Structure 1
Amino acid sequence: MQIRFHRCLLLLLSPALLLSCYRLSPSSGGGQGATSSNTRIIQPTDIALPAGYRIEAIASGLTFPTSVTTDEQGQVHVLEAGYSYGEVWLPPRLLRIGPAGETTTIATGDKNGPWNGVTFYNGNFYVAEGGELEGGKILRISPDGSLSTLVDNLPSRGDHHTNSPVIGPDGYLYFGQGTATNAAIAGPDNYHYGWLKRYPDFHDIPCADIVLKGQNFESDNPLTEAASDKASTGAYVPFGTATTAGQVVQGQLPCSGAIMRLPVTGGPLELVAWGLRNPYGLAFAQNGTLFVTDNSYDSRGSRPVWGTGDYLWAIEPGRWYGWPDFAGGKPFNGKRFEKPGDKAPAPLLAHHPNQPPAPAATLGVHSSSNGFDFCRNASFGFGGQAFVAQFGDMAPDVGKVMAPVGYKIVRVDVNTGVMSDFAVNKGKKNGPASKLGNGGLERPIAAKFSPDGQALYVVDFGIMKMTKQGPEPQQNTGVVWKITRTAQP
């Protein structure tokens, strides 16, 4: 009998061959090879759930939905972002979902999306406006659709935005603010994302004074026509600006990579925590602890970082969580986070505010773990656990993956850090429905329990294909799913 060995089976024998296999194999992300279509098959039976649970689609045909909430009558509302990576611009909207899946527009915003999160509190909706064009905002929307701004000019014109407002036990409104860049250095990858051309002086802002080591990174200069032009760029400064050892960059509010809060009636911003990369989802556990999902580094740009999972953090007020010199509480002091064929990242800061803690859980590398909620009703099952929506990889833009990552709902025991699949597409392979050729989940971006805890709503952004030119999001393919428990497992 002839035995044939696949070359990647050799990985069992040598870590060096793992790296070799990684280098030789092409990227195979979930958006690579996905169907490009503005129509979508919806088939709940293509989604695997634990025994005793049921999933149904309660709204479809949405364009870039990102978040869901309910009002005091229990009516479900969903946001349409109005912006997507791929530089697609539309008016953002707050929609009410009717019993037959019909939608009614409650409010429409300006083209300054994406609208990245919504919560309802004391008769009003509170929305995080991503601010890709004009800077981020926190908006208050009354039931009649009137908009007012609680805070504006948040530093969100870059890679990451203003995210996920949530009301704390103290009555304050908490939200996340992402960083301008992948790893604190503006570069050609930000031009590819679109914003560096619009705002060449935009950069990350620390929340407190920092001292730089003076590292600078040379790159091509996409802002000029000459192909031979190069630029030298340091940390926390505009593209093409060099830094020096001992240089002090002053901290300020609002700042990048942080969680901030303000009164729901409006008022001055307060810093809660910083040193995060893209704090996307925020939720309070029953004991009052704030948790946040953090989209970790990509393997791209002038300072790529390799192999870091997304993180779920338990937030301690006043703490610095390590960006841009740590990942998951581990420092950049060796080859641990070295991109194959590139230099290992070295620290940018001469001094660190504190030793970062370990995360409550480490999620999939490039999984884009985003909106989540805690189960507060034991009858639903898995009481006290976090249910996290994983949008899925955006390879190859974020770096190479050997197989699709994410595209599902996972549950996390925050006491142990153990993660388990909860809702995932059926089949021998993982990935979005458009790649698997079925009618299941595409790109889950938020998970939210109903006020009584009997139902879990899942916001599914829709089809996003990844091409050589970048993301190609498909309009009218978004869905809101509803998961309920029908029997004891």
Structure 2
Amino acid sequence: MKKLLKVLSMLVLISASVFAIQFYFDKTHPKIQVELKDNALSCSLKYSGLKNSVDFTVDEKNNYYIAYKNKIQIIKENGKSYDIFKDPELDIHSIDYFKNNLYYSSKDKIYCYNMKQNKNTVLLDNLPNYGDYKDSLLKVRGEYIYISIGAATNSAVVGDDNKWVKKNFYAHDVTPEDITLRGINFGKYKRGAFQSYNTNSLKGQIVPQHFPGNASVIVYNIKNDSSETFAWGIRNIGGMDFTSNNKLICSVGGMENRGSRPVIGDTDYIYDIEKSIWYGWPDYSGGDPVTSPKFKSVKGSPLQFILDNHPSTNPPAPLYQHKSVGTIGTLAVDANGDLKSRDCIFFYDNSDNMIYSFRGAGSPLAEVKFKDISKISSIKIYDKSLLTLDGESGYLYSIKRGKINVKPEVNKSIYLYLLLTVILGIILILKNQNS
């Protein structure tokens, strides 16, 4: 009986050792749970342990910078990782790198962190980031930083859907250019466009320009510390990147069925954003006027314009019109054609956790499917790879053309430990049986 107990004890010890080593391996080498729709692409897990990260960028030395809500972490090429700085007052949303500087957005400010001086500097402040789309994206191109500023409301009228009004009662959309109102007001309280909560508008009322304004893209000159409006009438941008010939490509969210001026029938879009152009918000979307049959109000009746003397009666049409509204997020442009054709656009749809590719014509193609618990916060193309940050799971994936190492490299010493544990267990069992 004692021999049997000893044998069972040895078996339990071996099983526990194997389980412990396997647990360690699974924890340090997570399994890739990504489904590739194109057999010509392969996926590897570049980094793990990045849970709650919001964005990332890479420098010329292949160091990675991971942005979280209140800190920025560096992962050096040799694998060493540490926090560059941390500030509980920050709420970082977007980050980019250029010439030993990290540029990032937080709340109503744009910052520059100089890594040689270990110094943070505010480049821009008092951005109107207090409403529905309060997180600015930024992208460095040459000596310029392109910065998105979202709309404060769904369709330019503050309503009961704008929960932020409780803390910022007098806030509303501000316009980057002078506009004239038609005096159309909505609902019981006669709420007007570009007015604070429960305030009506007047026919012929002129709303003066304000810089920076909502629903716009601004550009900041790094060399001379100047800034200006680049384009406007752009409701909210979820992703931005540049083509090989410096065209600014953005995903733009359409108007939704909510608020004092609900819009039914709109979708999301991908646009080529050009300088000094008005893109139609809040009276046009996807190049179409809200008075067209495409759109309806909540009662099924046609919508009305709220602006008079539009800057244009023919705002640009999008490159691509999506199937739904409020679902397109981050995007990246394959400017060099490293994964697909030159200037192919990759975009993420949060409704089905899928990355699609769009080549400028036809329907988009499904490329990468993520597990349901994933939430892709940023995608960028670097070193011939589509880098994909899953901030929810904490993984940074590398997706490339051709076959690459789809499994994390295994430390071979783990197999040696397993083998020695099994051999030791067998010796102890045999010894007990012979005694």
Query: What are the superposed Cα offsets for residues 263-320 of structure 1, whole Å, 9 maximum, x if unpaired?
Result: 1246232111000001232211101211111122122111111232211111221110
2:155 aligned to 171, 183, 204, which one? 183
**Residues 303 and 478 (structure 1), Cα distance of their counterparts in 2 relative to 1, 3 Å cut:** farther
Output the CA distance in 2 between the equivalents of 1:100 and 1:188.
52
Q: Distance in 2 between matches of 1:196 and 1:282?
A: 28
Matched, 1:260 2:218: yes
Instruction: Name 2:122's counterpart in structure 1.
Output: 149
Structure 2 CA distance for aligned equivalents of residues 367 and 184 of structure 1 = 17
Contact 1:261–1:270 at 8 Å: present in 2 too? yes
The CA distance in 2 between the partners of 1:201 and 1:266, in whole Å, is 34
Q: What runs of 5+ residues in structure 2 fail to find an aligned partner?
A: 1-26, 405-435
Aligned counterparts of 1:458 and 1:307: Cα–Cα separation in 2? 31
2 CA distance for matches of 1:381 and 1:334?
36
- In 1, Cα distance between equivalents of 2:120 and 2:159: 36
Could you tell me which amino acid in structure 1 is paired with residue 369 of structure 2? V
Match of 2:348 in 1: 389
Q: Distance in 2 between matches of 1:95 and 1:478?
A: 13
| Pair 340,327 (structure 1): closer, same or farther in 2 beyond 3 Å | same
Work out whether 1:78 is the aligned partner of 2:66.
Answer: yes
Corresponding residue for 1:458? 388
Distance 1:332 1:366, change over 3 A: closer
Deviation at 1:111, TM superposition (A): 3.3
Judged with a 3 Å threshold, the aligned counterparts in structure 2 of structure 1 residues 43 and 351 are, in CA distance, closer, same or farther, namely farther
How far, CA to CA, are the matches of 1:340 and 1:233 in structure 2?
16
The answer to whether structure 1 residue 158 and structure 2 residue 131 are counterparts is yes
Q: Does 1:47 align with 2:10?
A: no
Cα offset, 1:339, TM superposition: 5.0
Which residue type is aligned with residue 95 of structure 1? Q
**For 1:340-489, what aligned pairs fall within 5 Å after superposition?**
341=299, 343-354=301-312, 355-390=314-349, 392=350, 405-414=351-360, 416=361, 418-425=363-370, 433-434=372-373, 442-450=374-382, 452=383, 454-462=384-392, 477-487=393-403
Task: Tell me the residue number matched to 2:227.
Answer: 269
State how 1:1-80 maps to structure 2 within 5 Å.
43-80=31-68
Cα distance between partner residues in 2 of 1:358 and 1:71: 35
Distance in 1 separating the partners of 2:36 and 2:82: 31
Secondary structure at the aligned position of 1:255 is classed as coil
Amino acid at match of 1:409: I
Partner deviation per Cα, 1:345-391 (whole Å, 9 max, x = no partner): 3211012101211101112413532322221344433332011223x
Q: List per-residue Cα deviations over 1:121-146 (Å, max 9, x = no partner).
A: 111111122x1xxxx11111122653
Letter in 1 for 2:289: P
For the pair shown, the structure with the greater C-alpha radius of gyration is: 2
Structure 2 counterpart SS, 1:154: coil
Residue 103 of structure 2 aligns to a residue in which SS? strand
Q: Structure 1 pair 367/245, CA: closer, same or farther in 2 (3 Å)? A: closer
Q: Is the 8 A contact 1:70 1:120 kept in 2?
A: yes
SS of the equivalent of 1:307 reads: coil
TM-score by length of 1: 0.71
C-alpha deviations, 1:133-191, integer Å up to 9, x for none? xxx1111112265311100000001111242221224x211111101111101111111
Determine whether 1:118 maps to 2:118. Answer: no
Q: Which runs of 5+ in 1 are unaligned?
A: 1-38, 83-91, 220-230, 393-404, 426-431, 435-441, 463-476
- Separation of aligned partners in 1, 2:206 and 2:335: 45
Structure 2 CA distance for aligned equivalents of residues 218 and 42 of structure 1 = 53
When the two structures are superposed, what TM-score results if normalisation uses the length of structure 2?
Answer: 0.80
Displacement of 1:94: 1.4
Query: Residues of 1 paired with 2:80 and 2:99: CA distance?
Result: 25
Correspondence for 1:226 = none
| Correspondence for 2:112 | 140
Bigger RCO of structures 1 and 2 (CA < 8 A, at least 6 apart): 1
Judging changes above 3 Å, is the alpha-carbon distance between structure 1 residues 102 and 371 closer, same or farther for their aligned structure 2 residues?
A: farther
Paired residues of 2:338 and 2:385 also in contact (CA < 8 A) = no
Letter in 2 for 1:55: C
CA offsets, 1:85-135, max 9 Å, x none?
Answer: xxxxxxx2212235798752122244352x222111111111122x1xxxx
Where 2:280 maps in the other structure, the secondary structure is coil
Say which is worse superposed, 60-69 or 326-335, in terms of deviation: 60-69
Residue 340 of structure 1, CA deviation: 5.4
Change (3 A) 1:371 1:244: same
Structure 1 counterpart of 2:19? none
- Indicate conservation of the 8 Å contact 1:63/1:461, yes or no: yes
| 1:304/1:263 CA distance change after superposition, 3 Å | same
Contact 1:306 1:338 in 2 (8 A): yes
Distance 1:125 1:141, change over 3 A: same
Using the alignment, how far apart are the partners of 1:54 and 1:101 within structure 2? 23
RMSD: 2.5
Displacement of 1:486: 2.8
Aligned length: 375
User: Is the contact made by 2:137 and 2:148 (CA closer than 8 Å) also made in structure 1?
Assistant: yes
SS at match of 1:286: coil
Does structure 2 conserve the Cα–Cα contact (< 8 Å) formed by 1:54 and 1:486? yes
The CA distance in 1 between the partners of 2:153 and 2:30, in whole Å, is 36
Residue identity opposite 1:423 in structure 2 = V
1:44 Cα deviation (Å)?
2.4
Report the 3-state secondary structure (helix = DSSP H, G, I; strand = E; otherwise coil) of the residue aligned with 1:433: coil
Shift of 1:46: 4.2
Cα pair 1:59 1:97 within 8 Å, conserved: no
Letter matched to residue 333 of structure 1: T
How far apart are residue 417 of structure 1 and its match? 5.7
